[in-house]
Chain A
């Protein structure tokens, strides 16, 4: 289920199996979504699953822009947030006037909200790609986010606008009060949206989006207006972002200005990039990881954003293809059967790399908690932030870990090159 070229001749020959595998993937995803809350049934994991589901739709919608069409947006949360606000308003109006709108269609209202805004501002925004588009998206993002604090009747000021998801018409006896019912509502929309967004990449428009990403100039000479292509992509991205926003509104029963802001826009960029924008499934991985990190890190450290920054820099510098890029690099090795030759070098590299990472964590936490003189619990070992022994331990781990790790990384690269050469010789292109 990749949108990127399948660079192997072997891939072309496997087409019938590919189709079977294609439906199989979605079927497996559907089954996983159904049974997940049955296996992990605690309230906490249910809440996490809901957030992850929404993050997946949001990140995939972002990748329609970044990965598919080559548009770097710094304001994607605008469509997401406006979708959320429209959903809340329609829910409240529906409850007040007893409109026969069941809750499951509310995300669609959010989608329409996101798309309508894209329709409105998109034509001007998508006239140019690159830096111009990025700057305008940033400006529009700030404009809408700050307007939301001023236009109180629409956005409810700082407190936002609340709603009650159980007040709408029940469907099949479901009131959507219990979180498990909301989970299944989100799961349904995750599946539908993901399939729809994948299908979009397989249409003439989806293919031309890729062409515009690669070479907008040339697109003009094969009959297409790249401006129209970008505009359409922007509207689709707005639509699915709006669905994610609508689901958030249902999940939290509130919409506020934070939904629209730069932090939210940054987070979705972060998810898509960490996951890998070159492959359709990349942003899904990114959304899962980033949401888990966000939930997990906030409970153990006060400087969780700092870790996000470190991870982001690490990915940009060492794995610009993201997690999906790292995984897909292994595909020719798996096909050629040479993966086994690199695994030992990975295992050797794990220990010093972990030591290096622990050293960095210890350093960050020492600096963060120094003035409080707090105790840092790392792997069950208590470190006192003000104690010189802690500083020494951090320094040893960082420097020693790095020096040893660097050797093992070189080994990984060598083993990798050998395996890749063999794979290439066997006809599997990297």
Chain B
């Protein structure tokens, strides 16, 4: 079976600084895969490479078997990969409803249409309402996204990411900055919304990682030093030494 995401020997340098060294990663379809690692290990860079935000210096990235390295983000998105951002990245002056609806439009085939009334597309309306319901923001639908609370913006961020119905979802620290209660709520939300899809998640909160992930990859200095089930990662001496220390015991 072809992997949902296959990263082969990817390198990324900014000038003389090599951020990603010989990165190899395989994420099976339907798997919940967490990428962990110390600050500055290149987790976000890995996300940016896979989602097309930046291009690899060398190497190859495949999405569902198709080479996507070198494609623009929207081209990769149209092939079924959607990502969220670590720093909230929404359409601030537009309402919650409009934010989600914009993310639904391409997937429902309306593209750049300038001959259709956006308010009279039943499929779009229904799907947007469903997503808002899913992320518990229906009661805030007419509020400009910029006026939401931080936790609400994080939920909207997830809503925009899943709205297009992509088969591969990548979430970059979805619970960063959240309280304990908010984190629990967000994890339940992520678990429910990514049911049946492939999930790649970057996360610092180890309880989230070990509670959610089927497999974990450990990234240190731009290189994956270990990849395996949570138990394997817990028991891996290299991981203990490089990153986790006493934390996982």
A residues neighboring B (CB under 8 Å): 4-9, 11-12, 199-200, 202-208, 210-211, 213-215, 217-225, 228-229, 232, 236, 278, 429
Contacts and interface: CB of A to CB of B under 8 A. Distances in A.
Interface stretch (B3-11, B84-92, B190-198, B214-222): B84-92
A6 B142 contact: yes
Nearest to A223: B106
Interface stretch (B25-33, B75-83, B181-189, B229-237): B75-83
Interface in B48-97: 51, 72-74, 77-78, 82-83, 85, 89-95
A7 B89 contact: no
Contacts of A204: 105, 110-114, 116, 118, 121
Report whether over half of chain B's contact residues are helix, strand or loop; otherwise say mixed. loop
18 contacts: A5-B98, A5-B143, A7-B142, A7-B143, A7-B144, A200-B114, A202-B119, A203-B116, A205-B114, A206-B114, A215-B90, A220-B72, A221-B73, A222-B74, A222-B106, A223-B105, A223-B106, A429-B143
B107 interface: yes
A11 B142 CA distance: 8
A4 B105 CA distance: 19
A130 B117 CA distance: 29
A210 B95 contact: no
Contacts of B73: 220-221
B70 to A, nearest CB: 15
Contacts of A5: 93-95, 98, 142-144
B14 interface: no
B92 A207 contact: no
A207 B142 contact: no
A215 B89 contact: yes
Given A5-B98, A222-B106, A211 B91 contact: yes
Interface residues of B, number: 43
Contacts of B174: none
B89 to A, nearest CB: 5
B118 A206 contact: yes
Contacts of B118: 202-204, 206-207
A11 B97 CA distance: 13
Report whether over half of chain A's contact residues are helix, strand or loop; otherwise say mixed. helix
B101 interface: yes
Contacts of A200: 114
A228 B142 CA distance: 28
A215 B91 CA distance: 6
B164 A222 contact: yes
B89 A207 contact: no
Nearest to A199: B117
Given A207-B102, A211-B102, A223 B114 contact: no
A224 B85 CA distance: 17
Most chain A CB atoms below 10 A, which of B83, B142, B147: B142
Contact of A207 (B51, B85, B105, B143): B105
A207 B119 CA distance: 10
B103 interface: yes
B93 A225 contact: no
Contacts of A217: 89
Given A5-B142, A5-B144, A6-B142, A218 B93 contact: no
Contact of A221 (B82, B117, B119): B82
B160 interface: yes
B141 interface: yes
Interface string B120-158: 010000000000000000000111100100000000000
The 4 closest A-B pairs by CB, nearest first: A223-B106, A214-B91, A220-B73, A204-B110
B102 A222 contact: yes
Contacts of A429: 143, 147
Nearest to A7: B144
Contacts of A219: 74, 102
